[in-house]
């Protein structure tokens, strides 16, 4: 079963660039490495050949997975997003109930997640817990080290 993921135009463009890099540059390099190893003689005892074939197999697997992601990707029109509840691409300001700490997150697709820049995946525990919530609501979220409660303070778009 294919899984649809939602991306910004920028995120989708990065996916396509990565896929093209793998297909147009890395794939020919892998083939060249195999050809060079094959030219070195007996394949039954050629560790370099085996390593090149294994690297090619891993590359093809990565390409295949990325092609599936790209084929199931949907670009979100940010101008049509509803700011009344938390959705993919929402920027959410939350307050942690137990200590009053305020944090901001932007909910994005798994491949676009980058905690350093405040982008969390909608598939993460916090992302799942925030989806669909409105300002003033409290999300009870099960995380690896227990349960946290986050109050939704503000919902916006970047």
* Span 31-72, pLDDT tens digits: 998 888 888 776 667 788 888 889 999 999 999 999 988 888
Residue with tokens 């070195």: 40
Report whether pLDDT(26) > 90: yes
Report whether pLDDT(16) > 50: yes
- Asked whether residue 49 falls in the same domain as residue 83, the answer is no
Domain boundary residue, one of 58, 75, 92? 75
Determine the 3-state secondary structure of 144 from DSSP: coil
- Asked whether residue 69 falls in the same domain as residue 100, the answer is no
Name the pLDDT band for 2 (thresholds 50, 70, 90): low
Q: 102 has which bridge partners?
A: 95
- Asked whether residue 128 falls in the same domain as residue 102, the answer is yes
Report whether pLDDT(30) > 60: yes
- Asked whether residue 55 falls in the same domain as residue 91, the answer is no
- Asked whether residue 97 falls in the same domain as residue 28, the answer is no
**CA 144 to the chain's CA centroid:** 20
Determine the 3-state secondary structure of 147 from DSSP: strand
Name the pLDDT band for 1 (thresholds 50, 70, 90): very low
Phi, psi at 5, each rounded to 5°: -125, 145
- Asked whether residue 94 falls in the same domain as residue 150, the answer is yes
- Asked whether residue 29 falls in the same domain as residue 87, the answer is no
Tell me the per-residue pLDDT of 71-123, one tens digit each, with 9 for 90 and over: 888 887 666 666 778 888 888 999 999 899 999 999 988 888 888 988 998 88
How many domains does the structure of the chain reveal? 2
- The mean pLDDT of 127-141, rounded to a whole number, is 91
Helices (H), 27-90: 27-38, 47-71
* Amino acid 43: pLDDT: 66
Report whether pLDDT(143) > 90: no
- Assign residue 152 the CATH number of its domain: 3.10.50.30
Task: Provide the domain limits for residue 91.
Answer: 78-156
- Tell me if the pTM is above 0.85: no
- Asked whether residue 89 falls in the same domain as residue 51, the answer is no
């Amino acid at each position: 079963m294919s899984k649809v993921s939602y991306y910004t135009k920028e995120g989708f463009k990065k996916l396509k660039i990565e896929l093209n890099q793998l297909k147009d540059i890395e794939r020919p390099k892998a083939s060249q490495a195999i050809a060079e190893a094959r030219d070195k003689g007996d394949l039954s005892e050629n560790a370099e050949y085996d390593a090149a074939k294994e690297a090619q197999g891993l590359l093809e697997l990565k390409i295949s997975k990325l092609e599936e992601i790209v084929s199931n990707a949907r670009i979100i029109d940010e101008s049509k997003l509803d700011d009344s509840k938390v959705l993919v691409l929402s920027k959410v300001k939350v307050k942690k109930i137990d200590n009053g700490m305020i944090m901001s997150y932007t909910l994005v697709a798994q491949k676009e997640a980058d905690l350093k820049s405040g982008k969390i995946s909608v598939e993460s525990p916090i992302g799942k817990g925030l989806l669909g919530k409105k300002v003033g609501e409290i999300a009870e979220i099960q995380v690896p080290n227990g349960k946290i409660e986050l109050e939704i303070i503000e919902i916006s778009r970047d």
